A and B are shown apart, each in its own frame.
Chain A
Amino acid sequence: MSATAQTPKAAPRGSTASRARATRLLGDRRLPVLVTAALFIAMYVGGLSRYQNYGFGEPQVFLNLFIDNGYLLVAAIGATFVIMSGGIDLSVGSVIGFTTMFTAWMVERQGLPLLLVVPLALAVGAFGGFLMGYVIHNFEIQPFIVTLAGLFLFRGLCLVISKESISINDASVGTLAQTRVSLGVGDLSIGAVVALVVLAVAAYVLHYTRFGRRVYAIGGNEQSALLMGLPLGGTKIAVYTVSGFCSALAGLLFMLYIQSGDPLHAVGMELDAIAAVVIGGTLLTGGSGYVLGTLFGVLVLGLIKSVITFEGTLSSWWTKIATGVLLCAFILIQRTMTARRKT
């Protein structure tokens, strides 16, 4: 499936060099990421020219994209692993909501130190993901249904803990939430820094380790991966565990960002995460994509929100419509590209 081998077929008339270059670019796996990055830059430049006088150009506005969407980035990275392996995880939003609720309850109502609650929350999220992966692999039930059950379960557990939201007044949480890391031109919150670290780790794991290659292989063709002797079950279960862990971590970041636990936190965020992954150019059938694309997907979604805030007259539902339109555009781009590759 290498892009270069496909090039002659993609340009059957074997015409000029520029055409060949164009077809090579169209066959390039990196194209979706490049398109998303270009779109992000175009949107940013557009915003600059339109809201120059309102301070859009300040570096802090750019850094705020990371501060305001750190949790989404972490959740989307988890979703990237699952989607890369050809699966899907619908429980993301619920696990995030559950984690905010769980930590708030543990810290505020039980008086446990944050240092103890954080690993516990991460462990619960990872274990939830592990269980889902176990059921998906061992009983051959569709990921869609199993993670749907996970969605119900974790949202239900949120409500079992408490029907009302719990605000967090704990000193250590407050300190953490207030801490800023200065970058000279502006500053980042702890949540944004954690998100960037997760991004770096995920990029390393997916692109430079044996585990990462297995995820790509299973997503590309499960039967072939099995015939090659790859540990199918272990990898699949691990992928859902990673997603569960990332969701829980995203929940912690969200808790820091919003400083409360609420049973209705992050409802439907799995869709935002999936949308970010798709807009980032990862193939939904699995086997192709980059974590960096997910970063740009999240940034584009975040930028839509900032632009709507700056515009002032646009209402929040335009976020949904714009996300849908972008989603549609990128799915169609992906589709035409994969169609080209096959011909």
Chain B
Amino acid sequence: MTTTSRWRALTHHHLFWPVAVLIALLLVNVPFTPDFFSINMTDGHLYGSLVSIVLFGSPLILVAVGMTLVIATGGIDLSVGAVVAITGALTCSYISDQTDQNTLSAVFLAMGIGLVAAVVCGLWNGFLVARMGIQPIIATLIIMVAGRGVAQLITDGQIITVNSEPYKLIGGGYWLTLPFSVFVVAAVVAVTVALTRRTALGLLVESVGGNAEASRLVGIRSTRIKIMVYMFCALCAGIAGLMISSNTSAADGNNAGLWIELDAILAVVIGGTSLLGGRFSIGGTVVGALVIQTLTTTIYTIGVPTQTNLVFKAAVVIVVCLLQSPKFRAKVFGAKGPKGPRRDATPVEPAPAADAAPKMEVSR
């Protein structure tokens, strides 16, 4: 293998561009804050910019990992932000009702209630998408609209504050010198990767995303897989909801997890997972979420007015999407664009085909 071919292999790896963007963003910080990469030990806890990026990015990583699987089946879940709010509201209102908020069993029960509610939301989304055959954007729009109302109903329109030491741990506490949420994220990511890459589950998810009807015909229970994926996504959002409300020790039905669905979708896209479904990369998504969080941090540290944050984000979305578009690459970088039959070189076909198949099926 020559150096050039090795370089080619490296640049063609699906994680190359996301990681390159992440490293570039991290390096941008160095001239402004020279000790950006340094990590200090204070009171037995690690502190530093890198640690806080991971800490503040934790909920986003969780939501984005769940979203990756949903997108891999060709769907999308807009309701995660509302699920974050509902979970936080339920858990905090249960804890705040206790006379002793530090009781471990009560905190666990509260978290259980919150997570069960989240999974029920996911089941409902999955039911609408897989059983009723409703477009995912629209099916999940229902909980996105109604969910925040429900969360406000639970908290009675107030911001519920809790004062519970054990509950504080999950989103704001430290364990073995690191933020506890890092361990939660690592565990969820590890379990997801193990389930999807060490078992056939990931393949099944990709096959359902590629063509749900064909998968059904070869004997994959595509309905069940889809429902499962939405439930998993909602569960991840629920855990993120616990983290967010635990970190602030408060449940805000109106603002908790606001816009997180859009950031999560963005993370998935930056990570190289196509919105058309059929393939996914958990690693890419984690990198994508870190890119978004680093972008936010960078904007703060550079001293650019924070209000331009969204303009930057828009620019990043457009650049990343354009780079991923085969048509754009062909137009800008000349005819050397897609050589082999790349999977993402057939953008229009799969969706209508998958749509058309059930119609033919029914009319037979």
Contact = CB atoms under 8 A, between A and B. Distances in A.
A88 B132 contact: no
B275 A149 contact: no
A318 B269 CA distance: 34
Interface in B257-290: 262, 265-266, 269, 275-276
A277 B312 CA distance: 31
Contacts of A222: 348, 352
A167 to B, nearest CB: 19
Given A145-B317, A148-B317, A160-B307, A139 B322 contact: yes
Contacts of A244: none
Contacts, number: 144
Interface string B130-167: 00111101110111111111101100010000000000
A144 B275 contact: yes
A332 B132 contact: yes
The range of chain B's interface size is 35 or more
B146 A343 contact: no
A184 to B, nearest CB: 37
Contacts of B145: 271, 275, 320, 323-324, 327
Contacts of A141: 321-322, 325
B314 interface: yes
A116 interface: no
Interface string A57-79: 00000000000000000000000
Given A138-B327, A148-B262, A343-B362, A325 B146 contact: yes
B325 A315 contact: no
A274 B137 CA distance: 11
A285 interface: yes
Contact of B314 (A144, A150, A275): A150
A116 B235 CA distance: 52
A76 B229 CA distance: 32
Given A315-B157, A323-B146, A342 B310 contact: no
Interface in A299-314: none
Interface stretch (A10-18, A103-111, A117-125, A151-159): A151-159
Contacts of B133: 335, 339
Contacts of A139: 321-322, 325, 327-328, 331
A135 interface: yes
Interface of A: 88, 135, 138-142, 144-146, 148-153, 155-157, 159-160, 163, 221-223, 263, 271, 274-275, 278, 284-285, 315-321, 323-325, 327-328, 331-332, 335, 339, 342-343
